[in-house]
Amino acid sequence: MINTETTKHPVVFEDDHLLIINKPHGVLSHPNPNHKTSSAAFEGNYDFDDRRFDTPRGPVWLIHRLDQDTSGVLLGVKNKKSAQICRETFEQRKVEKDYLALVSRKPMPPQGKWKDSLKERRTGSSVRAMISRSGPPNAFLAYRLKEFFPKLNLTLLEIKLVTGKTHQIRVQSACHGHFVAGDRVYGNFGLNKELRQAIGLNRLFLHAWRLVIRHPVTSQILEAEAPLPDELEKCLLAASFKK
């Protein structure tokens, strides 16, 4: 069984091949190469070429990433063969990645799809993403409205992420006029200040609540879910009282 020598964070699912955790807000998926930090998803040194943590209990390969400010389901794998299979599954888009995001609302259909051309700009160790007016679409997601808070003009979206570009949900949401609440990079800073005072929101409201993937060994469909963190649930409750 796993212990704190491998990860300090809540374990969603574990067997001999997979280790799926609920990554908290503020924790890096892997260490920043230019800054030492102990706040990473798994313990031990990280090999950037192999995308592998060497934990005291054995290696854990990181299959995908979540932004530091995004919480939720994160997949690690305990052997190289299974890691290769899982990475191919992600590359072939045979995995479901579902998120919850609280966004500022302007008129929008109750469900829809966004297709955009997303470009990255790197400055040292930092990365910024932006929507380009040229080039074919490479960022795809589908959304549906889950709950509306009219007093604050906010909508809780359930988002199915098809691709996995850097900061994709945050950038596409902003581009389409629906800033993710609490986003300090791409968001609406006036809105963030208002929501800190109105509902106590002090973080990015973006949570990866479900991951559906075929098990690399048993071939069974595995659904891993992470409940919305308490601090975000409290914000929704506060928002509901303002209806």
* Selected catalytic residue, list 50, 67, 116, 230: 67
Residue with tokens 């400010």: 69
Whether 16 is catalytic is: no
What's the CA angle centered on 67, arms 64 and 71, to 5 degrees?
A: 90
Cα radius of gyration rounded to whole Å, the chain: 18
Pairing relation of β-strands 154-161 and 111-123?
Answer: unpaired
Q: What is the DSSP string of 45-71?
A: EEETTTTEEEETTEEEEE-----TT-E
CA distance linking residue 104 with residue 182, whole number of Å: 10
Contact in structure between 179 and 191 (CB atoms under 8 Å): yes
- Say which residues have a Cβ less than 8 Å from residue 88's Cβ, sequence separation at least 6: none
From the list 146, 153, 154, 160, the residue with the least C-alpha distance to 110 is 146
> Mind telling me the catalytic residues?
67
